Amino acid sequence: MIYVDADACPVKAEVEQVATRHKVLVKLVCNGGIRPSANPLVELVVVEAGPDIADMWIADRAGPGDVVITTDIPLAAKAVEAGAMVLKPNGEPLTQVNIGNALATRDLMYDLRAADPFRQGGGKGFSKVDRSRFLNALDQALRR
């Protein structure tokens, strides 16, 4: 099973493409506003609105043999702890080895933003290279 934290996921079409090739079920989990797919392997799960409701839904279900697609680091940590494989939309895996650093970096950036409310900027934009890296990473994950 592939679980997608779908509200802001830039690779939903790519997930569907790779999942279809491997005949793997996909659950796109969101608060709404996403069109259902006609693909019988893809299910749209709409959860109630609220902070982290979709994340909690995924965390309660993901486990060994599953793949979780998310940029949400706390969700990724829960999924890794449950034994799921986690990929960010740029193809970067989050694992037992690197999830601690990812959580620490997230917390540090939160503290820096809180200390300086005028701090501007964000991450780099999503590129074709990121999309290609994701396709390869998901394909490899499903082959395992």
- pLDDT, residue 109, reads 59
Tens-place pLDDT, residues 28-52: 999 988 999 999 999 999 999 888 8
Where do we find the tokens 């799921």? 84
Domain segments of the chain as ranges? 2-143
* pTM for this entry: 0.85
Task: Compare 24 and 116 and report the one with higher pLDDT.
Answer: 24
Tell the CATH topology of 2-143: Rossmann fold (3.40.50)
Asked whether residue 114 carries a pLDDT value surpassing 70, the answer given is no
Asked whether residue 22 carries a pLDDT value surpassing 70, the answer given is yes
Tokens matching residue 97: 């080895």
102-132: burial string, b at 16+ Cβ within 10 Å, e else: beeeeeeeeeeeeeeeeeeeeeeeeeeebbe
Q: Is the dihedral of CA 100, 138, 55, 118 positive or negative?
A: positive
